[in-house]
């Protein structure tokens, strides 16, 4: 009896003496490097700041970073490794929706906190929500909802929609149609194009949209698909006299490669990093530039805020015990470069917002103008709807 | 006793009458050579017999049973063994295994999943290999055999089903004269001992006239002569075709 | 659609067709002469893109394009002479493994050299704008591409039909052995053809930069398109590739124009499956002489020695005892290794003894996983029932697809398996209501008593060991022998009463069942499934496992599965450029042991 007791005491003492809180971060670094390289830099910056300030609850934070291979199966294996070999206290990360869902599902099974930083799927906190999963970024629904007021204001009748043919594009489209139809009765959706992700046949898609003679277009394209679409659309004159709304296109990751193709006047969600002058953002931007000699991208903010989330939760829980952390996460209030956020107890969604604005081009650089901050808290369905979805 | 009876066999490819009204028969233990210049219809005739082609008209009867139009594998199951002009064996298997597979197929045991094939019918396989003089090489992979030895393996494989009829397409092609003679003597002995009818095509007239019991001659898709080697050799039409023809 | 838009969509189709043709022509040429299935062709295309994007700011677009193409051509020639040349006499498909390794290396090279961000190239000077056709604006550059396709076709035609070199290429395409017998210098010819093919791929990539950004994912996107075009057109036929590119370009264009954009996900594979079923040699392809004596000969299958059996028994015992010593992550990893081993062994069963090269084996893995997952999710079946029933869905799928596949052979068969796998994938990907679409199905966990790592490990060990043992045993059975007989000599097999097709069909279905069992076990081990379980990369992983271990050995796939799974786990954890490292390891293994790891060991100890 004596020996186990002694061991237990020793272990307890060890943790009190500053055994680090281990964050198991897994992400598709090789599949989505454009977003995730800045993400990683954001995480590391946050980690350094937190540890320099004495850590959380008297313990240092440690990141154990893994590539999840971009597939749910590999991600689950990697997460298992983080849990059972690295004995991490928290899981964090993931990019693509299906990977996020798979890891969230594992987190519930293995009973470990999972801070899903990037995956956008609504299902993560609603249909498939569980006790252990919390999501940082504004979801597909929220970002779509942020664009709807502007869209409704224009009062365009004929809308065409283009989206990448997978869950993110499908749910963005469904949410947009539902919300816009509610905000603007009588609106018509005259064409829908769903090219395969990463393989848009831009010329044909643009021509098909021209044929539909829309007054406005809602797009959830991003990355290479967006660039192809924009170039073809510019050449073929699709965008002349047509209002265009595009999720995510204002994020530097997707906006910067457009350079002199940047379409003027598009309504987008994104991150005008040059122009935000709040003190919390300026502090973050300066620190980031100093540390990395580079400007922050959307990914940088997400990575940075994700690590701070864990630190804040540990502080509030006073421990890295999973159940205490989960309770601490509920209703957790904290500061981010985008301003204060709350982690909703109702559905484990953070109220992090996004910037909504219009694209503009100066020389061969694109940027966001006329932007405003859209607080995530204001773009969520009613509690009743959420509860019905969560089936808890 | 008639093993094979062919009556009025015909096959056309478009407008070309490759085989036209050919009739002949073959008795157990008899070696019948089918000869003729290139394009005479030998190959077509052979492929009609072995099932590669289906005849347009005519009858092929094996022991009184029609086999015309059946698939090659069904014809084999009815008792027709074959050897090929260019040998065809299973290169990744040993000589013995080649025979064992034929034995298994004959007994319709190929669909069993659990017994060990290599334990099946070793004694019978070895007996057949001994018969063709290949027992010493039973363990060797077929891929490593000399050409003449492969011909012997094919004979053993063909005999595994205790066939009534053996079809041999150019059995001695590509072999040295001494080897040819040995192979044909072996074939003759097998035919007599096992009471198998043998039909073979052959270019080498020495082989034909030395080893065949009877000869049929095809020209232009039709049978133009039939008889003992001596009779056929003396036939004027045959002489015309072979001596006067430019194509052989 | 108005007449104007029909015309414009037709022109769009032509422009896409030109791009498709450039890459497919090179692939077809390379395959026709060297019989190498060049997986890295998409990577060469990507290199062309990046080189052109990198060069254009300095030397201008119009000079950057030929420079990039030439550089990629030179790279291709070097890769052929340093790497592939050493492998022409290795077992079939080993070159494919080598080119797959090149894919990994080139991808990480591009990431290292040009960074992670997409790079949108400049518009083509002089052709930057649009011309008005039928009242619609159409990119001038696309008109240039439309003209370029036939121009390249004409140039290749001239090269192949009117020059001495072209005559040699055609001779080698028709019958490599005959060309060799006639004294054609094969080495030089192969290198030159590979270089030319690479140059065309590089040109295709470079010419795309005004239309799409250089991205790291483009290699794999392009390669599947290129395979489809080459196969539909007929392997080795350049005009066939042109015709197929036209067909597929137009079909996609009009799918979009008519509002069926979702079909473009799978349209090309449906076309390929239809062509292969109805006209197996492709639109303009010819039935060709088989390559005689190529590759290493497979030795006879010997019953395992007592020592080997004891070794396997000891391995099994060690695996069974392991949880007593160690209960951590190793069990999770070993669970993966075991079920991938079963997956690889089932693939080997049809590829090795069956001689049926499947590029789409993941279809059956995925069907097993979905079968089990759907039973749990939709029918609330128990885990036991789902595990037992799931593989039957895979067997059913294998029986349906296999019926068509076994009517083909060689690369055609491989491509048909790929097409069916892609069609299955796209159904799983798009049939939201049933399969959960791109997100898949989550919440498929084992029954509580099996949900612990150790318990599930034992279940996997028992099921996989039994499955593998059974598949191996069948190789020694009359059925296994008959299967090999059909592979070694279909002519002889037929002549001794073997129904080769029926056997192959049965084997295909049998293997599909066990791939499905592996998939069902996989689903419960991960708790979720998504279309990724039946995607091309999963099929490729299976191929790599089989080839890495050695296709001519029975145990090879097990070692291959263990090696690849371990590499992916260990290297991905420790190294930034892990893809390049895995590619490098595969290249080193391929060059050192062209018979595969297990084949090497066997050769060593057989002497």
pLDDT band at C607 (very low <50, low <70, confident <90, very high): very low
Beta pairing class for B197-201 and B31-35: parallel
C-chain CB neighbours of B88 within 8 Å are 489, 491-492, 495
The whole-angstrom separation of Cα B237 and Cα B245 is: 11
The whole-angstrom separation of Cα A194 and Cα C282 is: 30
Using alpha carbons, select from A285, A300, A209, A207 the residue that is nearest to residue A252: A300
Q: What is the pLDDT of residue C409?
A: 83
pLDDT band at A296 (very low <50, low <70, confident <90, very high): very high
Q: What is the pLDDT of residue C604?
A: 56
* Residue B13: DSSP 8-state: E
Q: Radius of gyration of chain B from Cα atoms? A: 18
Nearest to C497 among B76, B94, B141 (CB): B76
Q: What is the ipTM of this complex?
A: 0.92
Q: Do A119 and A153 lie in a common domain?
A: no
Q: Do B84 and C488 touch (CB under 8 A)?
A: no
Q: Do A315 and A379 lie in a common domain?
A: no
Range C571-578 average pLDDT? 80
How many helices (H) and strands (E) chain A has is answered by 13, 14
DSSP E strand boundaries for C369-409: none
Using alpha carbons, select from C567, C538, C579 the residue that is nearest to residue C347: C538
Q: Do A243 and A358 lie in a common domain?
A: yes
Residue A269: pLDDT over 60: yes
Q: Nearest CA of chain C to the CA of A128: how many Å?
A: 8
SS3 C184: coil
Beta pairing class for C528-529 and C441-442: antiparallel
Locate the domains of chain B by residue range: 2-88+163-244
Beta pairing class for B214-219 and B16-27: unpaired
Subunits next to A (3 or more Cβ pairs <8 Å) are C
Residue A68: pLDDT over 70: yes
Q: Do A149 and A269 lie in a common domain?
A: yes
Q: Nearest CA of chain C to the CA of A259: how many Å?
A: 8
The whole-angstrom separation of Cα A150 and Cα A145 is: 10
Which residues lie below 8 Å from residue B232, measured CB to CB, with a gap of 6+? B215, B217, B225, B226, B238
Q: What is the pLDDT of residue C297?
A: 67
Query: Token digits for B46?
Result: 């052979």
Q: What is the pLDDT of residues A39-62, one digit of tens each?
A: 999 999 999 999 999 999 999 999
Q: What is the pLDDT of residues C232-271, one digit of tens each?
A: 998 888 999 999 999 999 999 999 999 888 888 888 899 9
Residue C598: pLDDT over 50: yes
Closest-CA residue of chain C to B115: C477
Question: By the 8 A CB rule, do A217 and A209 touch?
Answer: yes
Question: By the 8 A CB rule, do B121 and B104 touch?
Answer: yes
Q: Nearest CA of chain B to the CA of C316: how many Å?
A: 21
Nearest to B76 among C298, C478, C496 (CB): C496
Q: What is the pLDDT of residue C294?
A: 38
C and A touch with 3+ CB pairs <8 Å, answer: yes
Residue A14: pLDDT over 50: no
Closest-CA residue of chain C to B103: C496
Question: Which pTM value belongs to this model?
Answer: 0.92
A-chain CB neighbours of C216 within 8 Å are 33
pLDDT band at A2 (very low <50, low <70, confident <90, very high): very low
Nearest to C484 among B50, B90, B109 (CB): B90
CB-count exposure of residue B65 (10 Å: 0-12, 13-18, 19+): exposed
Question: By the 8 A CB rule, do B42 and B36 touch?
Answer: yes
Q: What is the pLDDT of residue C603?
A: 60
Closest-CA residue of chain B to C488: B90
Whole-angstrom CA distances from C311 to A230, C315, C322, C342, C390 are: 62, 6, 16, 19, 32
Residue C288: pLDDT over 80: no
Q: Do C482 and B104 touch (CB under 8 A)?
A: yes
Q: Do C527 and A166 touch (CB under 8 A)?
A: no
Q: What is the pLDDT of residue A32?
A: 86
Residue C126: pLDDT over 80: yes
Residues 491-530 of C with CB under 8 A from B: 491-499, 503, 506
Q: What is the pLDDT of residues A18-29, one digit of tens each?
A: 689 999 999 998
Secondary-structure class of domain B2-88+163-244 per CATH: alpha beta
Q: Do A75 and A131 lie in a common domain?
A: yes
Using alpha carbons, select from C355, C363, C342 the residue that is nearest to residue C536: C363
Phi, psi of A308 (to 5 degrees): -65, -30
C-chain CB neighbours of A165 within 8 Å are 261-262, 265, 430
Using alpha carbons, select from C542, C98, C96 the residue that is nearest to residue C350: C542
Question: By the 8 A CB rule, do A343 and A326 touch?
Answer: no
Residue C191: pLDDT over 70: yes
Q: In C352-382, where does DSSP find H-type helix?
A: 362-379
The whole-angstrom separation of Cα C578 and Cα C558 is: 22
Q: What is the pLDDT of residue C602?
A: 58
Range A257-269 average pLDDT? 94
Question: By the 8 A CB rule, do B95 and B153 touch?
Answer: yes
State whether residue C532 sits within 8 Å of chain B by CB: no
Range C228-232 average pLDDT? 92
Whole-angstrom CA distances from B68 to B7, B27, B43, B50 are: 11, 18, 16, 9
Q: What is the pLDDT of residues A332-377, one digit of tens each?
A: 999 999 999 999 999 999 999 999 999 999 888 999 999 999 999 9
Nearest to C476 among B71, B118, B143 (CB): B118
C-chain CB neighbours of B91 within 8 Å are 297-298, 488-489
Range C283-311 average pLDDT? 73
Residue C178: pLDDT over 80: no
Q: What is the pLDDT of residues C343-381, one digit of tens each?
A: 999 999 999 999 999 999 999 999 999 999 999 988 888
Q: Do C478 and B92 touch (CB under 8 A)?
A: no
- Residue C288's Cα: distance from chain center in Å? 22
Q: Do A253 and A386 lie in a common domain?
A: yes
Q: In chain A, where does DSSP find H-type helix?
A: 2-16, 33-52, 72-84, 97-110, 140-154, 167-183, 202-211, 223-236, 252-255, 279-292, 298-317, 322-329, 383-390
The more confident residue out of A149 and C433 is: A149
Residue A130: pLDDT over 50: yes
Task: Name the helix (H) or strand (E) containing C78.
Answer: helix C61-82
CATH of the structural domain C3-278, one choice from 3.30.230, 1.10.3470, 1.10.10, 1.20.120: 1.10.3470
Query: Token digits for B45?
Result: 């005739």
Q: How many CB atoms lie within 10 A of CB B139?
A: 12
The whole-angstrom separation of Cα B111 and Cα C232 is: 35
C-chain CB neighbours of B89 within 8 Å are 488-489, 492
| CB contacts < 8 A (A, C) | 208
Residue A249: pLDDT over 90: yes
Q: Do A269 and A378 lie in a common domain?
A: yes
Q: Nearest CA of chain A to the CA of C213: how many Å?
A: 6
Query: Token digits for A297?
Result: 């991208």
Q: Do B160 and C496 touch (CB under 8 A)?
A: yes
B and A touch with 3+ CB pairs <8 Å, answer: no
pLDDT band at C577 (very low <50, low <70, confident <90, very high): confident
Whole-angstrom CA distances from C214 to A246, C90, C113 are: 22, 35, 13
Q: Nearest CA of chain C to the CA of B141: how many Å?
A: 6
Q: What is the pLDDT of residue C597?
A: 59
SS3 C408: coil
Closest-CA residue of chain C to A122: C439
Residue B245: pLDDT over 70: no
Which candidate in A202, A207, A232 is best for mutational testing of the C interface (most C CBs within 10 A)? A207
The whole-angstrom separation of Cα C544 and Cα C550 is: 10
pLDDT band at C97 (very low <50, low <70, confident <90, very high): confident
pLDDT band at A160 (very low <50, low <70, confident <90, very high): very high
Question: By the 8 A CB rule, do A138 and A175 touch?
Answer: no
Q: What is the pLDDT of residue C36?
A: 85
Q: What is the pLDDT of residues A220-233, one digit of tens each?
A: 999 999 999 999 99
State whether residue C290 sits within 8 Å of chain B by CB: no
Nearest to C217 among A194, A198, A237 (CB): A198
Locate the domains of chain C by residue range: 3-278, 306-534
The whole-angstrom separation of Cα A230 and Cα A246 is: 11
Structural domain of residue A16, as residue ranges?
A: 2-138+277-342
Q: Nearest CA of chain C to the CA of B46: how many Å?
A: 13
Query: Token digits for B130?
Result: 């001994």
Residue A1: pLDDT over 70: no
Which candidate in C492, C501, C513 is best for mutational testing of the B interface (most B CBs within 10 A)? C492
Q: Nearest CA of chain C to the CA of B232: how many Å?
A: 31
Structural domain tally of chain A? 2
Residue A34: pLDDT over 90: no
Mean pLDDT of chain C: 89
Q: Do A229 and A364 lie in a common domain?
A: yes
Q: What is the pLDDT of residues B166-209, one digit of tens each?
A: 999 988 888 888 888 999 999 999 999 989 999 999 888 888 98
Question: Of A177-191, A279-293, B118-132, C582-596, where does mean pLDDT reach its minimum?
Answer: C582-596
* Residue A195: DSSP 8-state: P
Q: Do B90 and C496 touch (CB under 8 A)?
A: no
The whole-angstrom separation of Cα A38 and Cα A42 is: 6
Angle at A376 between CA A371 and CA A381, to 5 degrees: 125
Using alpha carbons, select from A74, A69, A92, A105 the residue that is nearest to residue A22: A92
DSSP symbols for C219-257 = HHHHHHHHHHHHHHH-TT-HHHHHHHHHHHHHHHHHHHH
Subunits next to C (3 or more Cβ pairs <8 Å) are A, B
C-chain CB neighbours of B90 within 8 Å are 484-485, 488-489, 492-493
Mean pLDDT of chain A: 92
- If phi > 0 it is left, if psi is from -120 to 50 it is alpha, else beta; for residue B79 that is left
Subunits next to B (3 or more Cβ pairs <8 Å) are C
The whole-angstrom separation of Cα A58 and Cα A69 is: 34
The whole-angstrom separation of Cα C94 and Cα C554 is: 16
Residue C458: pLDDT over 80: yes
Q: What is the pLDDT of residue C172?
A: 78
pLDDT band at C293 (very low <50, low <70, confident <90, very high): very low
The whole-angstrom separation of Cα A249 and Cα A268 is: 6
Q: How many CB atoms lie within 10 A of CB C472?
A: 18
Q: Do A237 and A363 lie in a common domain?
A: yes
CATH number of the domain at A310, please: 3.40.50.2300
């Amino acid at each position: 009896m004596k020996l186990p007791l002694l061991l237990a005491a020793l272990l307890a003492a060890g943790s009190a003496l500053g055994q680090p809180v281990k964050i198991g971060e897994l992400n598709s670094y090789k599949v989505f490097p454009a977003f995730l390289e800045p993400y990683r830099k954001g995480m590391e910056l946050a980690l350094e700041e937190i540890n320099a300030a004495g850590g959380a609850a008297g313990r240092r934070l440690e990141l154990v970073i893994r590539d999840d291979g971009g597939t749910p199966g590999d991600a689950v294996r990697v997460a298992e490794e983080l849990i059972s070999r690295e004995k991490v206290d928290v899981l964090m990360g993931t990019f693509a929706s299906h990977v996020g869902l798979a890891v969230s599902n594992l987190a519930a099974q293995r009973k470990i906190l999972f801070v899903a930083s990037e995956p956008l799927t609504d299902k993560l906190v609603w249909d498939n929500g569980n006790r252990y999963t919390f999501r940082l970024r504004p979801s597909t629904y929220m970002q779509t909802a942020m664009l709807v007021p502007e869209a409704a204001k224009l009062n365009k009748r004929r809308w065409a929609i283009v989206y990448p043919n997978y869950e993110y594009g499908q749910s963005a489209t469904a949410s947009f149609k539902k919300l816009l139809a509610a905000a603007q009765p009588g609106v018509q959706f005259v064409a829908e194009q769903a090219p395969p992700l990463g393989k848009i046949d831009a010329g044909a898609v643009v021509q098909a949209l021209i044929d539909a003679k829309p007054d406005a277009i809602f797009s959830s394209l991003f990355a290479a698909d967006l660039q192809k679409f924009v170039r073809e659309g510019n050449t073929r004159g699709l965008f002349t006299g047509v209002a265009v709304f595009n999720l995510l296109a204002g994020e530097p990751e997707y906006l910067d490669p457009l350079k002199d193709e940047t379409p003027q006047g598009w309504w987008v969600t994104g991150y005008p990093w040059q122009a935000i002058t709040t003190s919390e953002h300026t502090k973050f931007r300066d620190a980031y530039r100093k540390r990395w000699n580079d400007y922050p991208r959307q990914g940088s903010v997400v990575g940075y805020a994700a690590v701070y989330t864990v630190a804040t939760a540990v502080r509030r829980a006073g421990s890295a015990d999973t159940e205490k952390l989960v309770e601490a996460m509920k209703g957790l209030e904290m500061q981010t470069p985008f301003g204060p956020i709350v982690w909703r107890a109702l559905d484990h969604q953070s109220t992090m917002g996004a910037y909504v604005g219009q694209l503009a081009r100066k020389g061969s650089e694109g940027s966001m103008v006329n932007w405003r901050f859209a607080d995530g808290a204001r773009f969520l369905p009613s509690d009743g709807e959420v509860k019905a979805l969560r089936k808890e | 006793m008639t093993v094979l009876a062919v009556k009025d066999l015909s096959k056309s490819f478009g407008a070309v009458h490759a085989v036209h009204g050919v009739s002949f028969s073959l008795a157990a233990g008899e070696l019948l050579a089918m000869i003729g210049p290139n394009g005479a219809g030998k190959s077509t005739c052979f492929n009609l017999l072995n099932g590669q082609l289906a005849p347009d008209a005519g009858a092929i009867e094996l022991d009184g049973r029609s086999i015309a139009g059946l698939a090659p594998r069904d014809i084999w199951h009815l008792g027709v063994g074959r050897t090929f002009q260019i040998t065809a064996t299973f290169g990744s298997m040993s000589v013995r295994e080649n025979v064992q597979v034929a034995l298994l197929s004959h007994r319709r045991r190929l669909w069993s999943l659990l017994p060990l094939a290599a334990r099946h019918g070793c004694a019978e396989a070895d007996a057949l290999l001994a018969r063709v003089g290949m027992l010493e090489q039973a363990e060797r992979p077929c891929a490593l055999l000399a050409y003449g030895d492969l011909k012997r393996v094919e004979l053993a494989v063909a005999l595994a089903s205790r066939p009534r009829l053996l079809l041999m397409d150019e059995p001695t092609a590509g072999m040295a004269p001494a080897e040819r003679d040995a192979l044909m003597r072996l074939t003759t002995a097998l035919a007599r001992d096992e009471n198998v009818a043998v039909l073979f095509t052959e270019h080498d007239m020495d082989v034909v006239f030395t080893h065949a019991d009877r000869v049929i001659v095809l020209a232009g898709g039709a049978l133009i002569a039939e008889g003992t080697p001596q009779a056929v050799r003396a036939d004027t039409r045959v002489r015309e075709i072979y001596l006067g023809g430019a194509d052989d | 659609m108005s007449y104007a838009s029909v015309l414009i969509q037709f022109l769009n189709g032509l422009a896409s067709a030109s791009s498709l043709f450039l890459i497919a022509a090179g692939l077809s040429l390379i395959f026709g002469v060297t019989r190498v299935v060049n997986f890295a062709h998409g990577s060469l295309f990507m290199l062309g893109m990046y080189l052109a994007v990198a060069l254009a700011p300095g030397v201008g677009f119009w000079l950057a394009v030929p420079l990039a193409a030439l550089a990629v051509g030179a790279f291709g020639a070097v890769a052929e002479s340093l790497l592939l040349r050493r492998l022409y006499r290795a077992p079939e498909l080993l070159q494919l493994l080598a080119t797959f390794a090149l894919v990994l290396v080139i991808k990480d090279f591009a990431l290292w050299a040009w960074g992670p961000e997409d790079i949108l190239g400049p518009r083509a000077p002089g052709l930057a704008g649009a011309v008005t056709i039928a009242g619609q604006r159409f990119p001038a550059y696309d008109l240039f591409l439309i003209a370029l396709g036939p121009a390249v076709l004409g140039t290749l035609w001239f090269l192949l039909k009117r020059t001495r070199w072209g005559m040699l290429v055609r001779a080698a395409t028709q019958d490599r052995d005959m060309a060799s017998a006639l004294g054609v210098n094969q080495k030089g010819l192969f290198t030159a053809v590979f270089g030319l093919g690479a140059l065309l791929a590089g040109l295709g990539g470079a010419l795309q930069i005004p239309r799409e950004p250089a991205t790291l994912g483009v290699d794999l996107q392009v390669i599947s398109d290129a395979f489809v075009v080459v196969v539909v057109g007929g392997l080795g036929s350049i005009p066939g590739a042109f015709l197929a590119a036209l067909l597929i370009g137009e079909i996609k264009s009009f799918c979009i124009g008519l509002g069926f954009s979702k079909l473009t996900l799978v349209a090309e594979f449906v076309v390929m499956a239809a062509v292969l079923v109805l006209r197996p040699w492709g639109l303009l392809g010819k039935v060709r002489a088989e390559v005689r004596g190529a590759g290493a000969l497979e030795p006879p299958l010997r019953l395992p020695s007592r020592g080997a059996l004891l070794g396997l028994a000891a391995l099994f015992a060690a695996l069974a005892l392991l949880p007593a010593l160690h209960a951590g992550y190793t069990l999770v990893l070993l669970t993966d290794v075991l079920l991938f081993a079963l997956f690889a062994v089932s693939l080997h069963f049809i590829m090795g003894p069956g001689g049926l090269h499947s590029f789409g084996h993941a279809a059956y893995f995925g069907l097993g996983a979905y079968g089990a997952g759907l039973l749990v999710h939709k029918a609330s079946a128990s885990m036991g029932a789902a595990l037992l029933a799931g593989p039957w869905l895979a067997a059913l799928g294998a029986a349906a697809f296999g019926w068509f596949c076994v009517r083909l052979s060689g690369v055609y068969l491989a491509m048909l398996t790929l097409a069916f796998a892609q069609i299955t994938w796209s159904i799983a990907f798009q049939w939201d209501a049933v399969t959960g679409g791109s997100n898949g199905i989550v919440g498929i966990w084992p029954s509580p008593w099996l949900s612990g790592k150790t318990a599930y490990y034992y279940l996997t060990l028992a099921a996989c060991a039994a499955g593998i043992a059974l598949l191996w045993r069948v190789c020694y059975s009359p059925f296994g022998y008959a299967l090999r007989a059909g592979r070694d000599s279909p002519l002889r097999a037929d002549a001794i009463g073997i129904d080769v097709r029926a056997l192959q069909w049965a084997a295909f279905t049998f293997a599909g069942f066990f791939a499905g069992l592996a998939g069902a076990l996989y689903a419960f081990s991960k708790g979720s499934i998504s279309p990724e379980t039946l995607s091309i990369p999963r099929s490729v992983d299976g191929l790599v496992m089989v080839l890495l271990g050695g296709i001519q050995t029975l145990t090879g796939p097990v070692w291959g599965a263990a090696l690849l799974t371990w590499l992916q786990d260990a290297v991905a954890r420790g190294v930034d450029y892990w893809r390049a490292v895995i590619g490098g390891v595969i290249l080193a293994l391929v060059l050192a042991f062209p018979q595969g790891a297990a084949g090497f060991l066997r050769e060593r100890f057989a002497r």
